[in-house]
Amino acid sequence: IAMEEGLRFAIREGGRTVGAGVVTKIIA
């Protein structure tokens, strides 16, 4: 819940993208 950019498009899916989107940003 600390990544606003990732949460913005992640919230759209409902939770699955939240983990994938946030993890991708951390790896990059």
pLDDT for residue 12 is more than 50: yes
Q: How confident is the model at residue 1 (pLDDT cuts 50, 70, 90)?
A: very low
In the chain, the N- to C-terminal Cα span, in Å, equals 18
Whole-prediction pTM: 0.15
pLDDT for residue 11 is more than 50: yes
Q: Residues 17-28: pLDDT tens digits?
A: 555 556 556 555
Residue 2 belongs to domain spanning: 1-28
* CB-CB contact of 22 with 3 (8 Å): yes
Q: What pLDDT score does 28 carry?
A: 52
**What's the number of domains the chain is made of?**
1
pLDDT for residue 4 is more than 50: yes
Q: What pLDDT score does 13 carry?
A: 57
